[in-house]
Structure 1
Amino acid sequence: MNRIERKITKIGNSYGITIPNDLLKKAGLQHGDNVQLEYVNDEIKITRSRKVSLPEGISEDFFETVQETMVEYDSTIKGLVDR
């Protein structure tokens, strides 16, 4: 199954399409999975979401803090490779 046609349906203030189960399985997706939508070269691209769920007790700004630390200590961290 390479091409299928679907009708766009109104769902509240948004629109949606149905996706056959076998197509979801081929993509490694299932009901309840999060996906990302992207508009690329006149096409809508659907990919599995790469968002990570944080364990309980980890604040939302955890990765932001890690990124700031990596930037601040970049040369020090890279210097550890040579030790």
Structure 2
Amino acid sequence: MDKRRTFRKVGRMGNSPGISLPSEYLEKINLQRGDECEVVIDEQRKEIRIRPVQPIPEGLSPEFMKALDETHEQFEEALRNLRDR
């Protein structure tokens, strides 16, 4: 996995605090201005992850995907431990 590190200051975007991202970072995860993205906050690790919203595969319902996401969140640490084995 290609990991890059950069430092940014929290600035102002309208009336809210915000952090701008270099366009090359967005390009690497296939995001561009106007795209919808998912923001995941991991309070234990003090991390924020950003990823493009993936369309729901044909034949699966939004309810199923929500249940899958909830199950993944519930067992995230166990899954991470299995992945890192």
Q: Which of 5, 19, 25 is the equivalent residue of 1:17?
A: 19
Q: CA RMSD in A?
A: 2.3
Q: Deviations over 1:35-56 (max 9, x none)?
A: 111111210111112367xxxx
TM-score of the pair, normalised by structure 1:
0.53
Match of residue 49, structure 2, among 29, 45, 64: 45
Q: TM-score, normalised by structure 2?
A: 0.52
Match of 1:57 in 2: none
Rounded to whole Å, the distance in 2 between the matches of 1:6 and 1:51 is 30
CA deviation vs aligned residue, 1:50-73 (integer Å, no higher than 9, x gap): 367xxxxxxxxxx67xx5xxxxxx
Residue range with higher mean Cα deviation, 34-43 or 9-18: 9-18
* Uncovered stretches (5+) of structure 1, i.e. residues with no partner: 53-62, 68-83
DSSP-derived class of the 2:7 partner: coil
Give structure 2 stretches of 5+ with no counterpart: 64-85
- What SS does the aligned partner of 1:4 have? coil
